[in-house]
């Protein structure tokens, strides 16, 4: 995170939205808008993320505003929590910095019929088995190997390919964003180096802020929506947060290198070279989109295999099939992705390229991309907290379509950089502190827990309150962590 604070103007639009005026920097095509309230403003001003919101407003073809969610913090090019839509018919661009290095980093939530009050004594055994059997940590490979034609099919088809291998069910695909497979993915646009890095990483958790967490449904706010999702008080759930691993990182790195000279080629002037971009309809833009979609498919397959292994561990520990435990996927959402979507902009229906970086799609009831099961309530939105505080399930609301191109936040948002978090944890045992709060933590390293300690994040309940009041998504359930595996 940037150490300098933001001293530029933030003008209040309403109780949950603030403006960086278009006049702030010559070259801004639209204004910036940050969703926050007075409680979050000091943290938002503490680094240069609002400056990045202003910089994104320079992108050709940007529509309406450069947006940021309440989990906003400093990122590469775009802030984390950054959203923008560009119109290809107006020279709109695609920017790898608006997707991020971990392409389709995302979260999925699995519900069960197990009651915490009945299995509380077995949670330590359960998290121990998950920690032993699910690969986690930097560069860790796993049991599933995909190379050559098999990897190309995985990149082209995503989780749908796993269905042909008996590793995914139709219900799993139905409750995954985009059905777990983006059309237009082209494995040939993915470098051999990226493919090599991905050979044994599908079905692995990774490191950093990725996790597998056992949670308990603590409180219901929308009974109808909770019933449709199968969420009831005292029941166990599993939340999985992971992305496209080394393959996606390499795809981003490859195209950032390729894009270095592209803005000059098309006469695009940018305030930050990390915003390197190409017109969506250009050869370079189309190549990146095809590679990004392939990496996104890899990520959906990765989370599917992580869920499959989790089901196997639950079945072993409890001596019952995962089907009898009703370990059904509630939903899977992407956090770092760019999608071609239709939206209404100032009364006109347009096809735009929506960048969501550290941001979650939040489509309302009735939208055709919401699975039939949830179409009457809206798309499930999953917002994880930190290891010591609750996570939330919400549903998309109509105002998200009017205000944010169908988007809301993706998490709590960091307030400490990883190095600052490690410094703050010196001399402490984060695992013991979490245990005192009733959370069993397993991690490959002390540093991993130090970087992800609760103090490193904003209070997710405040962040969720903002998106609820702003009408971007409405609360359904709060889930409390009881055990976690970190990479």
245 close to 101: Cβ distance less than 8 angstroms? no
Between CA 247 and CA 251, with CA 248 as vertex, the angle to 5 degrees is: 90
> What's the CA gap between 246 and 135, in Å, rounded?
14
> What's the CA gap between 346 and 353, in Å, rounded?
16
> What's the CA gap between 454 and 43, in Å, rounded?
15
Picking from 315, 313, 104, the residue whose alpha carbon sits closest to that of residue 198 is 104
> What's the CA gap between 224 and 205, in Å, rounded?
33
The phi, psi pair for 40, rounded to 5°, reads: -90, -20
* DSSP label of 79: P
| Residue 24: strand, helix, or coil | helix
> What's the CA gap between 469 and 159, in Å, rounded?
35
How far is the CA of 165 from the CAs of 145, 154, 158, 275, 438, in angstroms? 13, 11, 12, 39, 39
> What's the CA gap between 138 and 140, in Å, rounded?
6
Between CA 132 and CA 406, with CA 328 as vertex, the angle to 5 degrees is: 105
Catalytic, out of 73, 175, 335, 410: 410
212 close to 59: Cβ distance less than 8 angstroms? no
73 close to 49: Cβ distance less than 8 angstroms? yes
Asked if 432 is an active-site residue, the reply is: no
Neighbouring residues of 223: CB distance < 8 A, sequence distance ≥ 6: none
Residue 65 structure tokens: 């505003």
331 close to 382: Cβ distance less than 8 angstroms? yes
- Could you tell me how many helices (H) and strands (E) the chain has, helices first? 17, 19
R_g (Cα) of the chain, nearest Å: 21
How far is the CA of 306 from the CAs of 155, 200, 206, in angstroms? 17, 13, 11
- Active-site positions read 410
């Amino acid at each position: 995170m940037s150490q300098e604070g933001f001293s530029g103007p933030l003008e209040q639009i309403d109780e949950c939205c603030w403006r960086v005026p278009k006049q702030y920097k010559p070259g801004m095509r639209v204004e910036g808008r940050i969703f926050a309230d007075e409680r979050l403003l000091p943290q938002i001003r503490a680094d240069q993320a609002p400056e990045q919101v202003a910089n994104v407003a320079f992108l050709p073809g940007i529509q309406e505003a450069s947006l940021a969610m309440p989990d906003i913090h400093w990122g590469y090019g775009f802030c984390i929590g950054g959203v923008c839509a560009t119109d290809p018919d107006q020279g709109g661009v695609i920017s790898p910095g608006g997707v991020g290095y971990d392409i389709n980093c995302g979260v999925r939530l699995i519900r069960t019929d197990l009651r915490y009050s009945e299995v509380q004594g077995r949670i330590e055994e359960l998290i121990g088995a998950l920690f032993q059997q699910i690969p986690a940590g930097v560069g860790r490979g796993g049991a599933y190997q995909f190379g050559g034609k098999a990897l190309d099919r995985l990149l082209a088809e995503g989780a749908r390919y796993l269905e042909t291998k008996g590793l995914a069910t139709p219900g799993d695909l139905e409750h995954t964003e985009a059905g777990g497979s983006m059309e237009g993915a082209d494995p040939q646009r993915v470098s051999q180096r990226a493919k090599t890095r991905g050979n044994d990483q599908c079905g692995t958790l990774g490191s950093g802020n990725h996790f597998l967490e056992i949670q308990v449904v603590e409180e219901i706010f929308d009974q109808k929506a909770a019933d449709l999702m199968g969420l009831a008080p005292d029941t166990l759930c599993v939340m999985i947060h992971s992305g496209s691993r080394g393959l996606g990182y390499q795809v981003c790195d490859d195209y950032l290198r390729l894009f270095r000279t592209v803005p000059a080629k098309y006469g695009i002037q940018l305030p930050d070279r990390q915003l390197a971009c190409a017109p969506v309809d250009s050869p370079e833009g189309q190549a990146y989109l095809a590679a990004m979609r392939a990496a996104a498919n890899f990520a959906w397959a990765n989370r599917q295999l992580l869920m499959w292994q989790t089901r196997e561990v639950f079945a072993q520990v409890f001596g019952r099939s995962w089907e009898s435990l009703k370990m059904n996927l509630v939903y899977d959402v992407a956090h770092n992705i760019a999608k071609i979507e239709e939206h209404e902009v100032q009364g006109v229906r347009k096809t735009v390229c929506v960048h969501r970086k550290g941001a979650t799609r939040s489509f309302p009831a009735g939208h055709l991309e919401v699975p039939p099961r949830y179409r009457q309530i809206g798309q499930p939105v999953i917002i994880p907290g930190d290891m010591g505080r609750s996570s939330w399930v919400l549903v998309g609301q109509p105002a998200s379509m009017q205000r944010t191109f169908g988007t809301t936040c993706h998490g709590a948002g960091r307030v400490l950089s990883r190095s600052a978090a490690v410094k703050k944890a010196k001399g402490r045992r984060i695992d013991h502190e979490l245990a005192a709060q009733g959370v069993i933590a397993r991690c490959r390293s002390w540093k991993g827990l130090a970087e992800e300690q609760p103090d490193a994040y904003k209070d997710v309940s405040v962040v969720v309150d903002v998106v609820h009041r702003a009408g971007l998504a409405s609360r359904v359930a709060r889930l409390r962590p009881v055990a976690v595996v970190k990479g």
